[in-house]
Structure 1
Amino acid sequence: MPLYRALRRMPNPRLTGLGSGLFAVAVMFLFACLLRLLFGGSIVAYGVLFLPVSALTALWVRPADLVSAPVAVPIAFAAGVLPISEGTGGFGGQFMGLLTALALHAGWLYGGTLVAGVIVTVRKVKLMARRRQQRQWQQQQRRGQVRPPGHPPQRRVPAS
């Protein structure tokens, strides 16, 4: 139960599609810079940190922009891996280092995208079920089948 209470106390922001993408890019870039300073740029640690960022991005995007989370997460991985991608020389060397890092550690990229995709899918299914229940409730109210709370049901007196 303590874990449940801790999760309930966590913030529950609702970011737009652009906001969730910017959040993921900024956090991953900061993580990469910290990893480069502290550990010399461990891409495995970067990948491990990418998974919870993917989950938070998918949890914090607002319902209208659910599709954007699985799209923004791989972009954030690629943008954040720049500081630790061990490229040499000028632009060409940095670009080759980026492509090499993305190719060699695609598992983390796929894993984070899968995490975001599963969370977004579950949220969408729950949202659709809630909307269906609300629609059914409204239809029952229009037909008079559901009484407002506090009103007892009417009794039918049999005709004799």
Structure 2
Amino acid sequence: MPRAGRSARQARGSGPAREGLSGPAGRRLPNPRLTGLGSGLFCVMAMFLLGCLDQLLFGASLTVYGVLFLPVCVLTALWVRVGDVLTAPVVLPIAFAVGLLPVAESGGGLLGRLMGLVTGLATQAGWLYGGTLAAGALVLARRVLWVRTRRRHG
């Protein structure tokens, strides 16, 4: 039974305060909270799959790969748990390098693949730094908000 002053709709939790969190047909949008290991696995697998997709659709365009890296950085920084939030900027460069494997040029053999990887890392450093810095800024903002809220509530 709803309390006085609140409608039955607000008591069920579907009032105006929750409309921004609901998607079509009243379903909640996903709000995953990944551990440090989970966020690392998420971004490594996402970047590897995006690298393979880039290889198939765009013929290994390093620019497309760099652009696809940015949303993965943002999602990793937003989805990691607050307790593990400082791990997100650490795993992103590793994920960038792993995802670069299918995109990097290979001159044949292991050494050719390694040389293509090193060349890709050198030429695409701007995307790597930009994505890592964006994730770092999001992570620091989340951490500061978490510390302030924790201090306020004792």
Q: In structure 2, how many angstroms separate the alpha carbons of the residues matched to 1:51 and 1:31?
A: 12
Structure 1 residues 6 and 64: CA distance shift in structure 2, 3 A: closer
Measured on the aligned residues, the alpha-carbon RMSD in Å equals 1.6
Deviations 1:20-74 (A, max 9, x none): 0000010111111011111101111111110010000010000111111000111
Give unpaired runs (5+ residues) of structure 1. 136-160
Q: Once superposed, which parts of structure 1, at least 4 consecutive aligned residues long, lie more than 6 Å away? A: none
Structure of larger gyration radius: 1
Number of residue pairs aligned between Structure 1 and Structure 2: 132
Change (3 A) 1:57 1:7: farther
2: distance between equivalents of 1:7 and 1:48? 29
SS of the residue 2:31 aligns to:
coil
Q: Which residue of 1 aligns with 2:20?
A: 5
Match of 1:90 in 2: 109
Alignment-mate amino acid for residue 77 of structure 2: A
Shift of 1:7: 8.6
Q: What SS does structure 1 have at the residue aligned with 2:115? A: helix
Distance between the aligned counterparts of 1:11 and 1:117, measured in 2?
22
Task: Flag the 1:104–1:61 CA change in 2: closer, same or farther, 3 A.
Answer: same
1:103 aligns with 2:122: yes
Q: TM-score, normalised by structure 1?
A: 0.79
Equivalent-residue separation in structure 2 for 1:16 and 1:87 (angstroms) = 34
What is the percent sequence identity of the aligned residues?
59
Q: 3-state DSSP class of the match of 2:102?
A: helix
Question: Which of 7, 15, 37 does residue 56 from structure 2 map onto?
Answer: 37
Displacement after TM superposition at 1:88 (Å):
1.4
**One-letter identity of the residue aligned with 2:33:** R
